[in-house]
């Protein structure tokens, strides 16, 4: 499994950043198994409350991002991967926290299968985290940048809330090649916390090779 490949490179004494999503849930299981078998001392900084609880359930030692100077390795999944410097995340709603951990890590590992690799991001859904106050005005400004966007809802039709108690807007941009530029344009909008465009960072991609 990809999760086991990631767990295999964790070293004793490290501080490890944990992203969110189903891939990270498998990674937590795999790394906990290795820690228990090899009696390693490792501490973890989780991005989401869901993964935090998963890590606690498996007995992992957790530490707040406020209490570490830097994170040795960060592991995460991805919604879409363009290359080693550009990917899309945030389908699970934890994009701000995931990006914070990745930016404060020495090395960044993305665990993904081949279905996540695409040639370009045109017409892909880009999650955008926004503050609740004045959210309709923020959405209007996002549309002016060129995005067709909708406020994310839960199954019960209530507004989806992130772990930071913000909203998520899912936006679709067509015919765009420079996603770093779009990210910067969106970040200039008052009310936008961050976008699911992860760029200008170097990622190491861990995937299973075809047999």
The catalytic residue positions are 98
Where does residue 144 fall: left (phi above 0), alpha (psi -120 to 50 degrees), or beta otherwise? alpha
CA angle (167, 171, 172) in 5-degree steps: 170
Burial label, 69 (beta-carbon count in 10 A; 0-12, 13-18, 19+):
exposed
The values of phi and psi at residue 199, to 5°, are -135, 170
Query: CB under 8 Å to 84, separation ≥6 — which residues?
Result: 202, 203, 204, 205
Whether 50 and 20 have beta carbons less than 8 Å apart is answered as: yes
Copy the structure tokens of residue 118.
């695409």
CA angle (48, 53, 56) in 5-degree steps: 125
CA angle (148, 168, 71) in 5-degree steps: 125
């Amino acid at each position: 499994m990809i999760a086991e490949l990631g767990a295999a490179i964790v070293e004793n004494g490290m501080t490890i950043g944990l992203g969110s999503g189903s891939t990270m849930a498998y990674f937590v299981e795999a790394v906990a198994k290795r820690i228990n078998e090899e009696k390693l001392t490792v501490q973890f900084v989780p991005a989401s409350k869901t993964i935090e609880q998963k890590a606690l359930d498996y007995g992992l030692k957790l530490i707040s991002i406020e209490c570490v100077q830097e994170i040795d390795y960060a592991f995460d999944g991805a919604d879409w991967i363009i290359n080693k410097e550009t990917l899309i995340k945030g389908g699970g709603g934890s994009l701000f926290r995931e990006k914070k951990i990745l930016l404060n890590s020495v090395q960044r590992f993305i665990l993904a299968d081949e279905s996540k690799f695409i040639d370009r991001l045109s017409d892909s859904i880009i999650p955008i985290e926004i503050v609740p106050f004045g959210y309709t005005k923020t959405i209007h400004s996002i549309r002016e940048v060129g995005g067709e966007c909708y406020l994310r809802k839960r199954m019960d039709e209530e507004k989806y809330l992130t772990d930071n108690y913000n909203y998520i807007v899912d936006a679709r941009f067509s015919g765009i090649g420079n996603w770093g530029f779009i990210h910067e344009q969106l970040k200039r909008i008052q009310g936008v916390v961050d976008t699911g465009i992860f760029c200008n960072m170097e990622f190491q991609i861990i995937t299973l090779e075809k047999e």
